Amino acid sequence: MLPSAIILVLDRLGAGFLGPYGNTWVDTQSCNRLASAGLLCEFAMSDSPVLETVYRSYWTGRHAMDCRPAEETLSEAAGKAGLKTILLTDEPRVAEHPLAAPFAEKILLPAEVATIAAKEIDETQIARLIQAAMEVITRQREPYLLWIHSRGMSGAWDAPVEYRNAFRDEDDPHPGEFTAPPLLKRASGFDPDELLRYVHAFAGQVTVMDLCLGALLDAADDHRLAKDTLFAFTSPRGYPLGEHGQVGPVEDALYGEVLNVPLLLRLPGGSGALMRTQELIQPGDLYDLLRGQFVAGSPALLLDIALGRDHLPRDIACSVAHGERAIRTPAWFLREVRESDDEPRVELFAKSDDRWEVNEVASRAAEVAKDLLGALNTFELAARAGNLAELSPLADTLSDQWR
């Protein structure tokens, strides 16, 4: 029987708030459960902070720097293989995306305006969306592709207040009852008490999200097609919480808090269970994996990793935004910013010790920065030409973590 697939995409969730990624103070039991049964991608890197662009990568396999027309969308490939394709979302930009048209069924769940926190979890927007997803799963009798997109942290922060207060110590400021996602920029940094309010509120949202994920996993596991169903959980981009002078996506600067996102995969048959990969994964790899489930012989890096098959390790991931580019290797992260017609400004950070880009070292490693810019240019040219598979491995000075 063809495999089914359930993809849950929760917007604006960075990897750093989840237990499987090292967080020790937010209880994410459902994420832990999913990680224990599947493959965890430690360095899944978004290729753009623009939602529509990431979805182009998800649904066509094209990198954000690759502007060529799509050959076949994910829903088209799944439909041709005989799967029913369903898109469920509370985000109009996803429902109305041009590449969403081939889905056989599209369900847009209206996002209600929340001016106060919910009294119970089932009143939250994420819970309503997951309940709708569970009902969709229950109706399925044949193999299917269900793509679920939640506005997540870009929507209302409507978790019941007690979930925010659960993280508050006696001397901590009250997190408040705001529901609008905060958008703030402070050139001189944030007052620690002010920042703590936002962090606790965000953690409350993550807790509710994790409980909803658990309910969705239960529904998937109880379905008659469960043993043949792939389950994926990811996010297109993260949410800054004080790093680099921003709370919220004020500018969506290309730093780790925006780019490093979770990707947890549970494959049919248990392939990749309890595995963790540090290879650099990007949104287009999810397309390759899913298409590989539906179309025999399609190459897929994630499937090679999960099955332990020989493959050329991924040593580069690149991202692009308006006026910015970034390149990540196992050893370095470089951000290039064009603010005018002058020479672009370059920032360089050593990996993996400096996970959230705190210590800028471009002046102390000028040759590395120059070589990384060259690698970034080469990557972009290859992406535009559709030749990313032909890129040569990087020099050891750019890819060796133990240089």
Give 128-155 pLDDT, tens digit per residue: 999 999 999 999 999 999 999 999 999 9
Helix (H, G, I), strand (E, B) or coil at 378: helix
For residue 339, what pLDDT is reported? 80
For residue 353, what pLDDT is reported? 87
- Domains of the chain, with CATH numbers? 4-307 (3.40.720.10), 317-399 (3.30.1120)
∠ CA 41-42-48, nearest 5°, is 80
What is the b/e burial string over 42-62, where b = at least 16 CB atoms within 10 angstroms of the residue's CB?
Answer: bbbbbbbbbbebbbbbbbbbb
H or E segment and range at residue 246:
strand 246-247
* CA-wise closest residue to 354 among 218, 285, 257: 257
330 HSE (CA, 13 A, CB side)? 16
CA–CA separation, 329 and 332 (whole Å)? 5
- Over 68-126, what HEC string results? CCCCCCHHHHHHHHCCEEEEEECCHHHHCCHHHCCCCEEEECCCCCCCCCCCCHHHCHH
Which structure tokens are listed for 133? 């997803």
For residue 71, what pLDDT is reported? 87
Indicate yes or no: pTM above 0.75.
Answer: yes
* CA-wise closest residue to 337 among 363, 365, 373: 373
For residue 401, what pLDDT is reported? 66
Say if residue 298 is exposed, middle or buried (CB neighbours under 10 Å; 0-12, 13-18, 19+). Answer: middle
Helix (H, G, I), strand (E, B) or coil at 208: helix
Cβ 56 vs Cβ 320: under 8 Å: no
Report, in this order, helix, strand and coil percent for the chain, each rounded to 5: 40, 20, 40
CA–CA separation, 190 and 61 (whole Å)? 39
For residue 100, what pLDDT is reported? 98
For residue 2, what pLDDT is reported? 84
For residue 373, what pLDDT is reported? 97
Residues of the chain under the 50 pLDDT cut: none
Contacts of 67 by beta carbon, 8 Å cutoff, 6+ apart: 384
7 dihedral zone (left: phi>0; alpha: psi -120 to 50; beta) = beta
CA–CA separation, 14 and 153 (whole Å)? 10
Place of tokens 């649904």: 59
Neighbours of 111 (CB within 10 A): 17
Centroid of chain to Cα 386: 23
Cβ 296 vs Cβ 279: under 8 Å: no
For residue 109, what pLDDT is reported? 96
Cβ 55 vs Cβ 245: under 8 Å: no
Dihedrals φ, ψ of 264, to 5°?
Answer: -120, 130
Q: Which residues pair with 260 in a beta bridge?
A: 45
Helix (H, G, I), strand (E, B) or coil at 280: strand
H or E segment and range at residue 282:
none
